[in-house]
Amino acid sequence: MSAPVRRPTMYGTRVGSITLDHGLPASEEDVQRVFDASDFQRACQAYLWSLPIVSLAQWQHAARTNLHMRDVDLVIYESASDQEGILTADVSVPYLVGLPDLARTGPLVVEYPAGNSSGTMYDFWQRPLQRLGEGGHDSGTGGTYLVVGPGQLPHREAFDFVVHSPTFNLLLDVRPLDADPARANSLVDRFRMYPVGQSGLDDATCIIRPEGRRWSQVPPRGLEYWARLAEILQREAITEQDLVMLALLQTLGIERGRAFMPDERQRALLEDGAAMGELMARTTAFDGRDAATRYRTDARWRVVQPNALANGERPDNFVDARTDAFYKGVAASTGARARGEASPVCLLAHRDAGGNALDGSRTYRLRVPPHPPAKTFWSLTVYDADQRVLMQSGRTTPQRSSRESLRYHFDGSVTLYVGPKAPRGWEHNWIATTPSAPWFAYFRLFAPLAEYFARRFALPDFECIDADP
């Protein structure tokens, strides 16, 4: 006769010891502790899952509220000041952005102009739908695109291209690339977007400029994050792959067809989940466990991975790669940059040679070797580590590049400085920081050469210095 199975009477867990009665929590208090632990975990994972859609929903909300953008309008972000609200913006090229809602407009016509530009249509999960311009289907000659949302039927009219979107809301991201400002502006002015059946004159597309108005695309924190998620889920099409996560969100007060009015318990769990979820995302984005992101073993620079949803890419750990991409950036892709040239590659540094976090109150030196492997140019851009946006010191542009009049050494190398005060004589090679702000940097190579991909580009770490060179 077999011995009776010994059943545990208590579980030691991360939320404390749970007393069991016949295998179940013995008290109402312990039952609630288990459910609280479950819902907290749901909130953390829901934060990571929802980063791409909340990022675009926040951009759409800010553009509509602060810049008064309509579904047929576009906003052009040209200067560093304009781009201060964009996650890891690249100030070397303007952004022309539309964020229409096809549920309101119906199928939408996009008249894309001919010229030197690169663009992409994304759904609201930031999955690329269509390349535009020189790297896209129109090959830079322009064309008329019809964009059709879920359940919408293509129109009988003839169009050059038809794009089917699985979401009603879209991101249209266009980069005018012509070095001649007049030609670049002409391309922008020829852009049209309007509901099918209209001429584009009935409700003409306006090109909006921020003109000093404050706005931010950065996902909000705390309960506002969940409010933005709840709002966009009410307006979006739901696919089968979303159903499990939506079911998990119900116990947290987020449900389609119901107003977002969390009770006190749900509010606390959502706020704690957003804080821990962001900490998970930040850690993954800056100190991720994927060893392949380390560019070289002799320095701390990490490779900035492209959008994990672009072109059906499936990295080894898709969840971590997705979190990495969307916590640091928005709408990053592997699409063409310009005529025959690949998108820029990026290296990220957030620690100095000693392994310490980069501190806005300290001064750092970066020695860029001669002839970095870029066909066109290279740049160094500094970002506020808390918000992941351009450093806003108010004293210098947050970027230095090889297209500027930098001070070079005789061997062709160049030394750049980042800190609250410029070393004497090196003002043109200096990026100012805010003393209270931690920061990180992107080193971009535009049209990278084979030396970069072979990992022969020996870019050293930032060195913390205490005096002028």
Instruction: Give pLDDT tens digits for 236-247.
Output: 998 888 899 999
Q: Indicate whether 73 and 58 sit together in one domain.
A: no
| CA atoms of 97 and 129, how far apart (whole Å) | 15
Greater model confidence, 139 or 270: 270
Q: Which of 160, 179, 208 is the last residue of a domain?
A: 208
Helix (H) or strand (E) holding 110: strand 108-112
Q: Indicate whether 352 and 428 sit together in one domain.
A: yes
Pairing of strands 128-133, 117-123: antiparallel
CATH code of 89's domain: 2.60.40.1610
| CA atoms of 199 and 191, how far apart (whole Å) | 13
Q: Which of 280, 297, 325 is the last residue of a domain?
A: 280
Q: Indicate whether 44 and 175 sit together in one domain.
A: no
Beta bridge partners of 392: none
Q: Indicate whether 197 and 231 sit together in one domain.
A: no
- Residue 110's closest CA among 150, 137, 87, 83? 137
Q: Indicate whether 41 and 143 sit together in one domain.
A: no
CATH code of 46's domain: 1.10.3360.10
Q: Indicate whether 385 and 236 sit together in one domain.
A: no
Confidence of residue 291 (pLDDT cuts 50, 70, 90): confident
CB 89 within 8 A of CB 95: yes
CB 420 within 8 A of CB 363: yes
For residues 161-194, one letter each, b for 16 or more C-beta atoms within 10 angstroms of the residue's C-beta and e for the rest, the string is bebebebbbbbbbbbbbeeeeeebbebbeebbbb
- Residue 71's closest CA among 141, 140, 147, 10? 147
Q: Indicate whether 385 and 444 sit together in one domain.
A: yes
| CA atoms of 304 and 463, how far apart (whole Å) | 21
Q: Which of 280, 306, 321 is the last residue of a domain?
A: 280
This prediction has a pTM of 0.91
Q: Indicate whether 333 and 235 sit together in one domain.
A: no
Q: Indicate whether 417 and 295 sit together in one domain.
A: yes
Q: What is the pLDDT of residues 186-229, one digit of tens each?
A: 888 889 999 987 765 567 899 999 999 999 999 999 999 999 99
Q: How many domains does the chain have?
A: 3
Helix (H) or strand (E) holding 45: helix 28-66
Residue 249 inside a domain? The answer is yes
Residue 12 inside a domain? The answer is no
Specify the amino acid at residue 240. Answer: E
- Residue 317's closest CA among 329, 303, 305? 305
Q: What is the pLDDT of residues 146-156, one digit of tens each?
A: 999 999 988 77
Q: Indicate whether 183 and 239 sit together in one domain.
A: no
Instruction: Note down the domain range covering 53.
Output: 31-62+226-280
CATH code of 343's domain: 2.60.120.600
Q: Indicate whether 98 and 186 sit together in one domain.
A: yes
Q: Indicate whether 361 and 315 sit together in one domain.
A: yes
